[in-house]
Amino acid sequence: MRVVVVGAGIAGLTLAASLHRRGVPCEVFEQAAVLREVGAGIQIAPNASRLLERLGLAAHLATVGVQPAALEMHRWEDDRLIVRVPLGEECRRQFQAPYYTVHRADLHDGLRALVPTGHVHLGKRCVAVEEGPDTVRLQFADGSSTAADVVVGADGIHSVVRASLVADERQFSGQAIYRGVVPSSAVRFLQTEPRVVLWLGPDRHCVCYPVSGGRAVSVGATAPSARGASESWLATGDIAELMAGYADWCSEVRGLLTALDRVGRWSLYDRDPITRWSSQRITLVGDAAHPMLPFVAQGANQAIEDAVALSVLLAHSSAATVGEVLNRYAELRRCRTEEVQRISRRNSSALHVPNGDRRERRDAAIASSQAARERSWLYGFDAEHAALADVAGASRGSSMP
């Protein structure tokens, strides 16, 4: 079985690493000429960290990552604490896996090192996908092509592979996010204890957390945005424009944004959930399957779950056809990723309510919730075990008279 993955982001590399670990060789085709992940930090919750640790990244994450002691939400104007959710020890105790904040480039490097040399092909922008009864043919922008028994689209929100399965449009959220990294010496309030800190205000929010083993702090700040702006990871932002939107916020936020010397800016899009992820020989993982707004910090976590679940099914399933395996994978994943997409959209408005009664009710609800415990359906889930149980259940079923 020749498996070809389109896209070497977090989803594609995790899939390639997990397939190789299970003895299923695969080739990855990536449009970029140089493999690198840009942007700033990323939060890796226990539902993904346990999978990455099993893949062989435990030592790498412990070196490049930071385990925040807690997630805190504060009011925008006076920095008053709304809620503190313990993460560090609490996640290890409750979910038997750590919560990490890491720089995206560090995570990407770790994943890349798990894929055998020569299996990632750069400068290969896929432009067409043709599925036949026995094979799938991929065309690349440089005129070359390749054939595969199974094609997995890990090519993000603009997925060409997804477009071969379903015709749909991106949905614009009305918001952009500015992101950058500052030296940790510029953020004194994080030096006493590593934390994820959010400030919630009308129309926008700001978030920061330590990355790069604690040497730097990742900063993200949202702002209302006009339709049509770039959503590329490579678009740069105007710091003065960003600061103007936060001019009357508390000094902690203003100090954080002042420390930025360059920021990326991109508009935030997602897509509606789809019911059809797989055909007879094609399926999707990560943002190609379920692009979501970043307001639950789970897009990459879900991508990692997808990748590991798919690798288990491709390696171990006793289903009669590839199409059955791919459909089983989509069924196994769809409800969960749909729920995370839905909550991410809901948070898009809930995080940004104006001062007044609505905010008081929102803050009281947040403060009374035991967020980490309430997230056990999210953080406690083990996608690898779920896929192995599915395979075991299916093989018991197929051996019945």
Cα distances (Å, whole numbers) of residue 193 to 11, 70, 196, 210, 375: 31, 9, 10, 10, 23
Is residue 9 involved in binding ligand FAD (CB under 6 A)?
yes
Residue nearer to ligand FAD on the CB measure, 220 or 237: 220
Catalytic residues: 209
Q: Token digits for 337? A: 């990723």
Question: How many residues touch ligand FAD (CB under 6 A)?
Answer: 34
Quote the least distance from Cβ 115 to ligand FAD, whole Å. Answer: 13
CB 28 within 8 A of CB 119: yes
Only segment of 65-73, 186-194, 290-298, 344-352 that touches ligand FAD (CB under 6 A): 290-298
Is residue 286 involved in binding ligand FAD (CB under 6 A)?
yes
CB 84 within 8 A of CB 138: no
Is residue 98 involved in binding ligand FAD (CB under 6 A)?
no
Is residue 220 involved in binding ligand FAD (CB under 6 A)?
yes
- Site map (CB under 6 A) of ligand FAD, residues 103-132, x = contact: ---------------------xxx------
Is residue 68 involved in binding ligand FAD (CB under 6 A)?
no
Long-range contacts of 230-236 (CB under 8 A, 24+ apart): 230/265, 230/266, 230/267, 231/157, 231/266, 231/267, 231/268, 231/269, 232/266, 233/38, 233/39, 233/264, 233/266, 234/38, 234/264, 235/264, 235/265, 235/266, 236/262, 236/263, 236/264, 236/265
Bridge pairing between strands 195-201 and 136-140: unpaired
Is residue 7 involved in binding ligand FAD (CB under 6 A)?
yes
Is residue 301 involved in binding ligand FAD (CB under 6 A)?
yes
Is residue 294 involved in binding ligand FAD (CB under 6 A)?
yes
Considering only residues 151 to 210 of the shown chain, the ones binding ligand FAD according to CB under 6 A are 154-156, 158, 160, 177, 179
Is residue 30 involved in binding ligand FAD (CB under 6 A)?
yes
Please name which of 261, 262, 300, 246 lies closest in space to residue 14, comparing C-alpha atoms. Answer: 300
CA gap 395, 166 in Å, rounded: 31
Is residue 257 involved in binding ligand FAD (CB under 6 A)?
no
Q: Token digits for 237? A: 């932002």
Quote the least distance from Cβ 13 to ligand FAD, whole Å. Answer: 8
Quote the least distance from Cβ 332 to ligand FAD, whole Å. Answer: 17
Quote the least distance from Cβ 329 to ligand FAD, whole Å. Answer: 15
